[in-house]
Structure 1
Amino acid sequence: MRRNAKSSTTRRVRVALSTAVAVCAATAVLPTAASARPVGHRTTGVERISVAPDGTQGDAHSAGASIMPDGHRIVFSSSATNLTPEGTTGDDRAYVRDQRTGQTRRIGPYSPLDPPVISGNGEYVAYPVQWVNNVRIRQYQVSTGYTASANCSSHSCDQPSSSADGSSLAFVVLFRQPSSGQRIEVHDGDGTKKTVADFAHTHESRPSLSGDGRYVAYQDGGAGDVFVWDRVGGTTTGPVEGPSTAAALVQLSDDGSKVVYVSGSDTYVHDVPSGTVHLVPNARGVAIDPTGHHLLYAPLGTSGAGLKLRDLRTGTDQIVSNQPATAGTDAVSAGGRDVVFQSTADDLVPGDTNGKSDVFVRRFP
C-alpha cells in the first residue's frame, strides 16, 4: 500500500491510473534533467537527491518523499527553482527521481497540497491539489504524461491509497452537507466501488490498501480505534489494539499481514493472521517496508538518532539519520535497503549550505 504522511490537508498519496488513463488528456512530455550518475550505479550511505542537474544543491526547501519497493524511483515535492532545466516560479512542484540514471523530472503543473506518492510499479504519481472549492487528486502516468482526477463527484477527495498495480484505489470522500462527515471507499478500474466505513466526523481516517487490493486498514479518528476490512469476506476486524486502548494507524504492509499503529509512546506491529503483536517501546512508528519485516521509527525520550530502521525478525537497528529528520509512509523500499527522508541538518552530506530542508536517501548494503 502507498499512502501519504500527515499534513493539514490530506495524507501522503500513492495513486495509480487504471482504465481511466485511456480517456485522459495528455500533458506535455515531462522534461528530463541530465546527470553524470552511471546507469545502474548504487552506493551505500546517504545521498541528497533534491539537487540540480549538475549536482548542486536545491535553492529552496524540499520535502515529502515516497520510494518504489525496488528503490528505482523516488518522488518528492520542492519549491526549488533549479531542479530541472526549465525551472519553476518557486511554488511547490512534484518531482520524480530515477535512481538508476540520476534523472529528475517535474510531474504536472499544479502545486501539491501534500507531497506526491508513487505506485508500486513506479509508473504512476499522484498528489492532492486545490480545485476551486474542493480538493482533487491528480494522477500522472510517468511514461506518457497522461493525467486524470480521482472520481469523487462534487465532493473533496482525501487520503488516498492504491493497490500495487493501481487497479484499486481507496480514499476518503469528505462531505459538508447536510452535516460534516466522511466515507471511505474503494474504487476499481472497472468502475465498481465499495463502501468500507462511514463516519459522522472529519478526523483523519488514513485508509491504507494492501498491494492486492483485498485489505483496507483505517482508523476511526474520533474514537481512536484501528480496523482492518477484508473486501473478499466483507468483514471488519477490530479495534486491533483492543477495546480500551486509543491508537492511531501508521500503515498496512503490502501483503496485508501487518498493521502498524501507535498508542501512547509506543509502536505496535499487529500480525493480522495470528493476532499477535510486536511491541517497539518508546518509539513513534513512521513506516513499514513492503515485506512487513522492517520498521522505520523515531526514538522517543533519547538524544540519539533522528530515525532508525528496525529488522523486526532480529530486533536489530540501523541508523538512518543521526540528526533530526522526518519521513512519511512509503519511505522504505522492500527489504529495508533504501530509506528516503527529509532534514534541515547541514552535515549529512558535504557542501550542504542552503539552510533548507532537503530530501535524502540512505542506502544500506
Structure 2
Amino acid sequence: MTQLVTTSTSGSGFGDKTSTRARISESGSSVVFQSAAKNLTTTKGGGQHVLFTDLGGTIVPKGNHTVVVDTDATTGAKCKTKAGTNGASTFSEVSNTYNGDGPWVVFASNCYNLVSGWTHVGDVYIKNMRTGVTKVVSQANGNDNAAIARVSTRPVISDNGRYVAWNSTDGDVFVRDMWDSSARRTVDVVRSTGGDDESLRPEISGDGSHIIFASDARLSSKDTNSVRNIYVVDLRGWESDKSNTSFTPVLADVTSAGTAAPRPSSRPGINGDGMIVSFQTNSPLVSDDKNGVLDAYWRNMSTNQTVLLSRGWAGDVPKGQSSRPQLDDSGYVAAFTSTSNALVKGDTNGRPDAFLRRLNPSNPAQGTTYAISQTPSGNIAGSLDACSGAKANGQAMPYARPGHNNIATRPYLSGDGNRVVFVSGMCDLTNPPTDGSFNQIYVRTYGG
C-alpha cells in the first residue's frame, strides 16, 4: 500500500509546490520533509520549510496530521531572516518517542527567530514535537549562549533523540549528546585543516554508537587515492567518557579484501548498531561489476564482506546507475534509486525508480528486489499517459529537485524495513492520482 503524505488541508488534494528530502522515524509513525508547498498546513508562508506529518494521528490528531516545524518560538509564525523576509529550513530527521517524550525533529535553518534570544544565523535545531520546545543544537561546549562560528547543516539524530550529528560548511563533523550538560557534550569528530579535505553527510546509527560520513581527507592509511571516500567512527569511547576524544576513522568503501575504492564514493547509510553500512560508488568493488557507472553497495564492518546491492532480477549487474542506498535497523533490508530497467521484471517506464532489496542473512550476496514505486494495481509507476496532467522532462538522473518530474528517489526505511518514505513526481502512485507537476512525499507499507 502506498500513502500520499503531502495531502492538502482539504484532505482531497496534494502539495501545490515541490516537497523533498523526506525521512521516516524508526517506528515508522512519523515523517519529516522539506517543502515549498503552501497548502499542506494552515500556517501559510513562502520558501522552503520543514514539515512534520504524524502518520498515526496521535501527536497531530486533526486535519492531515501535518504541522510546520521551523516556527517562531513565541508567535508560532514561520521563521524569518534578520531582514524580516521568509527564511528557509532544510535537512531534517525525526527520532522516536522516548518514555512518552518526543518525537524530536532536527533541522538546519538560516532563520534567527526560532529560539528566544538566539541571534546567530545558520544553525542546527532540535524540536520536541510533543511539547513544541525548540533548542539550538550547534553550540560551543560548556556555553549555551555560544554559537559554533560557522554554518551548521545536515543534522541526523539517533532513534531515542539523544545523539545528534551534523557537518559544518568548513568541513567538520560534530556529534552532540543532548542528555549531557557537561562542557564536553559536543565533540568535533573530524576536523578540516583547510584545502580539499572536507568531511560531510554524516549518518548516525539508530543506537547512536557509530557515525558514517563522506570525506575528501585521507583519514586512514588504507586510503591511497585522492578522491572522496566513506568512513565509520565508533563513538562508544566518547559516550562513556567525554574526555576521550580520540577517534579512529575506519575506511568503509573497500572490497571484501580491503582494497580501497579507486573512484569517488558518497551518500553513506548505516544500520541500527553501526555494524552494516551502505554507500554509492562507481568503483568496481566486486569482480563482476563492470558497468562503469554509479552502483549501490553494502558492507558488513564485522565480517568485512562487501556486496553489490543493485543487481538485476537474474543476479546480473545492470547497465543503469544506482544511488542513495539506505538501510533498516537490521542492515539486511536496503532501499535505493536506480535508472536501470533490469532490477525487476516489468520495469518498462524508462526512468529512475525506487527499489527495496531484502538480503539473505545467510548469504547477503543474494536477495530479492522489489519496486517501491508501484501503482495501486502493482505495476511499475511512471507511465506518462497514466493520468491527466502528468509531466516529464526526460530527466535521466535519480535526483528529485524542482523540475525533475516523473521519477521516484530518496527512499528511506523505518527500523523494521516495513515502511519506506520516498520522493516522487510520478502521478500514478495512488488513487486518486496527483497531476505530476510537483514532487510529493509518499510512504509505502509492506507486510512483515
Corresponding letter in the other structure for 2:354 = T
Structure 2 residue 312 is the aligned partner of structure 1 residue 225 = no
Contact residue 172 and residue 207 of structure 1 kept, 8 A: yes
Residue 187 (structure 1) shift: 2.2
Contact 1:250–1:285 (8 Å) recurs in 2: no
Task: Quote the Cα distance in structure 1 between the aligned partners of 2:158 and 2:217.
Answer: 27
CA distance in 2, matches of 1:201, 1:170: 18
How many angstroms does 1:175 deviate by? 3.6
User: Does the alignment pair 1:172 with 2:214?
Assistant: yes
Tell me, yes or no, if the aligned pair for 2:92 and 2:105 is still in contact at 8 Å.
yes
Please identify which structure carries the higher strand content.
1
Matched residue of 1:150: which SS?
strand
1:275 aligns with 2:367: yes
Give unmatched runs, 5+ long, in structure 2.
1-20, 24-57, 81-86, 140-146, 238-246, 254-259, 284-292, 340-351, 361-365, 374-379, 383-406, 428-434
- Displacement of 1:51: 1.0
Tell me the residue number matched to 1:16.
Answer: none
Contact 1:285–1:296, Cα closer than 8 Å, also in 2: no
Aligned residue type for 1:185:
Y
Confirm or deny: 8 A CA contact 2:277 2:298 kept in the other structure: yes
In the alignment, the residues of structure 2 paired with residue 63 and residue 276 of structure 1 have an alpha-carbon distance, to the nearest angstrom, of 34
- TM (normalized to structure 2)? 0.55
SS at match of 2:228: strand
Aligned partner (choices 300, 312, 318) of residue 244 of structure 1? 318
**1:206 and 2:264 correspond:** no
SS at match of 2:161: coil
* Backbone CA RMSD of aligned residues: 2.9
In the alignment, structure 1 residue 43 sits paired with structure 2 residue 61: yes
Distance 1:121 1:187 in 2: 19
Matches within 5 A, 1:159-198: 159-175=201-217, 180-188=226-234, 189-190=236-237, 191=247, 193-197=249-253, 198=260
Contact 1:77 1:92 (8 Å CA) reproduced: yes
Q: Distance in 1 between matches of 2:208 and 2:229?
A: 20
Q: Look up the equivalent residue of 1:268 and give its one-letter code.
A: F
For residue 115 of structure 1, give the secondary structure of its aligned residue in structure 2.
Answer: strand
Change (3 A) 1:119 1:12: farther
Calculate the TM-score normalised by the size of structure 1.
Answer: 0.66
Distance 1:178 1:234, change over 3 A: closer
Q: Is the 8 A contact 2:353 2:408 kept in 1?
A: yes
Displacement of 1:114 after TM fit?
3.1
Aligned partner of 1:93 in structure 2 is: 123
What is the CA-CA distance between 1:42 and the residue it aligns to? 4.5
The one of 68, 78, 97 equivalent to 2:95 is: 68
Per-residue deviation at 1:293?
A: 1.2
| Pairing 1:290–2:415 present | yes
SS of the residue 2:267 aligns to = coil
Match in the other structure for 1:347: none
Q: Structure 1 residues 179 and 271 mapped into 2: Cα distance closer, same or farther (>3 Å)?
A: closer
Shift of 1:232: 2.3
Structure 1 residue runs of 5 or longer lacking an equivalent are 1-10, 14-39, 315-365
Compare relative contact order (CA 8 Å, sep 6+) and give the higher one, 1 or 2.
Answer: 1
The Cα of 1:122 is off from its aligned counterpart by 0.6
Whether the 8 Å CA contact 2:419–2:444 is kept in 1: the answer is yes
Q: Helix, strand or coil: the match of 1:237?
A: strand
Name the count of aligned residue pairs.
273
Query: What do residues 255-285 of structure 1 show as CA deviations (whole Å, max 9, x unaligned)?
Result: 2121111112211101112601111233523
